Amino acid sequence: MKSPIGNMTSWLLILLLALPAPLLAADNSVTVLITHPRADELRNIAKLVERGLLEVPNLRLVGIYHQNEWENYADARSYIAEQEKNWMELKEIACKLEVKSVYRKNDCSSTFQDLFNASNAVIFTGGPDIPPVLYGEKTLITTAIEDPPRHLFEISFLFHLLGSGRNKKFKPFLLDRPDYVVLGLCLGLQSMNVATGGSLIQDIPSEVYKIKTLEAGMRLPAMNKHRSFSQPLNPALGVGRAVIHPVRFKGRSELAKALAPDGKPVKVISLHHQGIEKLGSGLVVLATSPDGKIIEAIRHQKFTNVLGVQFHPEKNLPWEPDSIYLEREGAQVPNYVAEWFQKDQRARTFVEAFWRLVGDRIKKSAGGKP
């Protein structure tokens, strides 16, 4: 005859096993979410940590992506396993999203809330063009849409975090935790702007600088080139798509003083052909191109740990001179980005200050001291 206590224990075990696992494990880690977690994006963060640029004790990086995204994340899973990155993991999100439901409570809302509750920060990474339907415009021929489900997921998550002029009655999550860190990198800045109610310039060369050919693009001043014209004009093995150009920080906000204390332009890695047109609700311009025509960085007026940049301070290229990243076909310098970076002390100081600021704000969000 079985003991009543034994029967009760068995039933309790069955019940516990049947309960759904938490979306993110609860421990003492400082959890940072990252979207579109391909292997190269995970490697970028790992290298920032290894170089001491991003200092966050007990960091736990959770890559999040929607189940319908067209990206295959097998390379990311292999990277985590092969490099034994036990502080990294991936989470596939399964919920229904449509264009008409992005800017309201939807099937993903409870999942977004769980992700927010269980983390201290989120990084929205770079990527392809956003479908213009998400900001109420027709699609120009110059716009290349590559992964619509990704944009629905990331923009709806940002809408839930920050709120939007597209739905003023919605209460954004950050009202309950205003110290939560949101960082947008390149596409991440654009997604942030669209999510809060803004719109985009669909093609900077043709719309802003009125050029129609790559040859004309080659003649633009360096400060007006936001991605390479040489690479598509004369494609060759090893030629990179990024360019180097200056940005100028505006005003005397805490962020501006931390990143560019002397107010002078700083050079950055740039790789985009779209940019902010109409600014989203609650956003403030933090930096522009030297001619003032392109917004290069934004902050949130109310939520002080929300930052978006139109450039790429996360890239490993500046630190890897032996990598092949040619400026043009036949160039003698293997990695022109690294060569520039090693000679530009202001650029190095800026990148160090950028990630020190991000790390300090993540620690503050987690309750620790900077």
- pLDDT at position 17 is 38
Q: What is the enclosing helix (H) or strand (E) of 248? A: strand 243-249
Q: State pLDDT tens for residues 246-287.
A: 999 987 778 888 888 888 899 999 999 999 999 999 999 999
Say if 241 falls within a structural domain: no
Q: What is the enclosing helix (H) or strand (E) of 230? A: helix 230-233
Say if 9 falls within a structural domain: no
- pLDDT at position 257 is 85
Q: What amino acid occupies position 310?
A: Q
Residue 151 phi, psi (nearest 5): -65, -40
Residue 247 phi, psi (nearest 5): -130, 155
Whole-number Cα distances in Å, 355 to 65, 101, 157, 161, 307: 24, 34, 23, 22, 12
Of residues 30, 27, 28, 350, the one with CA closest to residue 179: 30
- pLDDT at position 88 is 98
- pLDDT at position 23 is 59
Q: State pLDDT tens for residues 147-203.
A: 999 999 999 999 999 999 999 999 999 999 999 999 999 999 999 999 999 999 999
- Domain that includes residue 45, residue range: 30-201+249-321+347-365
Say if 1 falls within a structural domain: no
- pTM attached to this predicted model: 0.92
Q: Looking at residue 316, which CATH number applies to its domain?
A: 3.40.50.880
Say if 339 falls within a structural domain: no
Q: State pLDDT tens for residues 273-328.
A: 999 999 999 999 999 999 999 999 999 999 999 999 999 999 999 999 999 999 99
- pLDDT at position 11 is 45
- Asked if pLDDT for residue 21 goes beyond 50, the answer is no
The rounded mean pLDDT for the chain is: 92
Of residues 88, 89, 81, the one with CA closest to residue 50: 88
Q: Residues of 321-353 as b/e, b for ≥16 C-beta within 10 angstroms? A: beeebbbeeebeeebbbbebbeeeeebeebbeb
- Asked if pLDDT for residue 215 goes beyond 50, the answer is yes
- pLDDT at position 143 is 97
- Asked if pLDDT for residue 12 goes beyond 70, the answer is no
Whole-number Cα distances in Å, 269 to 166, 242, 249, 314: 32, 7, 15, 9
Neighbouring CB atoms inside 10 A of 82's CB total 9
Bridge-based pairing of strands 181-185 and 306-309 is parallel
Say if 195 falls within a structural domain: yes
Q: Model confidence at 24, in pLDDT bands (50, 70, 90)?
A: low
Structure-model confidence comparison of residues 64 and 7, the more confident one: 64
In this prediction, residues 334-351 reach a mean pLDDT of 96
- Identify the residue whose tokens are 């709120």: 163
- pLDDT at position 28 is 84
- Asked if pLDDT for residue 95 goes beyond 60, the answer is yes
Q: State pLDDT tens for residues 108-151.
A: 999 999 999 999 999 999 999 999 999 999 999 999 999 999 99
- pLDDT at position 262 is 84
- pLDDT at position 338 is 97
Say if 88 falls within a structural domain: yes
Say if 258 falls within a structural domain: yes
The total domain count for the chain is 1
- pLDDT at position 261 is 85
The Cα 235–Cα 248 span in angstroms is 31
- Asked if pLDDT for residue 3 goes beyond 70, the answer is no
Say if 226 falls within a structural domain: no
- Asked if pLDDT for residue 8 goes beyond 60, the answer is no
